[in-house]
Amino acid sequence: MEKHLIIASYDGISTYYCGIGTTMQDTIASLNELTNSEKIKISLAYVSADPKGDVFNKERYQNSLELAKKTGGNLIPLCNGTIGLNEFDMWRSFSQWEYACASLATALSMVLKEKDDNVLMLHDTPFLLFHKFKQQIFGKKLRCFYMPRSNGLNHKFGDEEWRQKRIELEKETFRVIENDFQSTVLAIGRNFARHLTNDYDLSFNKNDYLINGLYFGRYKRFLDKKLDIAELNRFGININPDSKIIFSWGRASVAKGLKELLEAWREVVNSLPNHYMIIQAPNNSGEDDYFQLLKQITEETPRTVVINDFNPEIWQTVLRIQNTDIVCIPSTMDPIPHTAIEAKLFSTDMNYVIVGSNVDGVKDIYTSDECVWVNPYDKSNFAEGILKASKLTKEEKQNMKKSNAKSLSAFDYVKTIKEFLVKIKFV
């Protein structure tokens, strides 16, 4: 009997690094390391992307292919009726969700072996619909772990008609999964579990969690550096070399709380004349109205820069610039944002203060010793938090940095994946 782990994702296996792509990049790197000591066959299923399209990334694809080949697994392209030029066309279409899930069932019927221990991890909301096609896989032992990263009742994405359809699908899906002894919904963190319990009446036991993490090894190049503010010139940002930086990054999405951050900054900009607000907010989440709103606030506020670029070198550079004084994680609708873990990791040997949202999954990353808490929906509270962070003493900053360093190991994704596989008695 072989151990066969199959991972399905619409993003990150052959597409660029963003959102779930971050999780998949870390998963592939972590499993590549884990399989040096554990004998596991790994297959990766992904929504097909056109190699000539903007979202295709050859390096991600090659890394995925090499892991599958190394372990004797398969790289499984799934149906994409949008031709694969734009992943957001697929994500917004419920019929595309069904096409992907139906083709996944067909592929698994061909590649799974009855004698193997088969475990399927399904990343994000589109793959909840796999439950409709699972019964087409005859005579194969298959344990399924569904991993939604948002839900319609908590994540205000899309127009109301679309969102209500999504909620209807989620409610139906969660009922079916809970009644299938071979299927489990995994909560991405304790806070998100509370949302799913309150909104959809789901229940979770101690093994039904998988907290986000990072593959630390891929950040070493930046963590060994302390950079000068002149490095920003590479990205078209030229500011006074004595200036201090307030920084945040994430998709231009309502879920990221960037509008709330800019509104709070507008309240205190005159009180912090030596600070610049820099936000990296790529307009790639299908919420262009939101991005235009961010631009409008930026144009009305002095010393404010919004960068429309998903290049990870930008945020990694800013977090290692010695002038960076405050790092804001204002998320309002994320289970556990990677940015919160990245800020913790990159704070090593730096002197910035982390300001964290207290309304979503950021609460699973920090303690009160590690950040300044704010409510992003309360403009005055958020503004006061930024001012408080700017006035902390050197000793207070050092204590926060030490506390973050102590808790960092909990977010090592190699350890997270292995502990999960041990809990489900797979390794």
Summarised one tens digit per residue, pLDDT across range 352-399 is: 999 999 998 999 999 999 999 999 999 999 999 999 999 999 999 999
Structure confidence at residue 17 (pLDDT) = 66
**Under 8 Å between Cβ of 68 and 43:** yes
Domains parsed from the chain with CATH numbers: 3-213+412-423 (3.40.50.2000), 219-409 (3.40.50.2000)
- The tens digit of pLDDT for each residue in 145-156 reads 999 988 998 888
Q: What is the dihedral of CA 368, 374, 375, 376, to 10 degrees?
A: -140
DSSP structural state of residue 9 = E
Looking at the DSSP bridge assignments, the partners of residue 355 are 328, 372
Structure confidence at residue 157 (pLDDT) = 80
The span from the CA of 77 to the CA of 59, in Å, is 16
The position carrying tokens 């489990």 is 184
Structure confidence at residue 84 (pLDDT) = 72
Two tokens, residue 416: 């997270």
Structure confidence at residue 179 (pLDDT) = 93
The span from the CA of 342 to the CA of 365, in Å, is 10
Q: Per this entry, what is the length of the chain?
A: 427
User: Residue 279: which region, alpha, beta or left (left: phi > 0; alpha: psi -120 to 50)?
Assistant: beta
Sign of the CA dihedral with 289 first, then 292, 294, and 296 last: negative
Structure confidence at residue 285 (pLDDT) = 82
The span from the CA of 14 to the CA of 88, in Å, is 15
The span from the CA of 285 to the CA of 52, in Å, is 20
Structure confidence at residue 87 (pLDDT) = 65
DSSP structural state of residue 148 = -
The span from the CA of 1 to the CA of 385, in Å, is 56
**Under 8 Å between Cβ of 406 and 347:** no
Low-confidence ranges of the chain (pLDDT < 50): none
Q: Where are the alpha helices (DSSP H) in 203-287?
A: 220-223, 258-268
Structure confidence at residue 158 (pLDDT) = 81
Do strands 353-357 and 324-329 pair parallel, antiparallel, or not at all (unpaired)?
parallel
CA-based max dimension of the chain: 68
Strands of 281-419, DSSP E: 304-307, 324-329, 353-357, 372-374
The position carrying tokens 């920003």 is 232
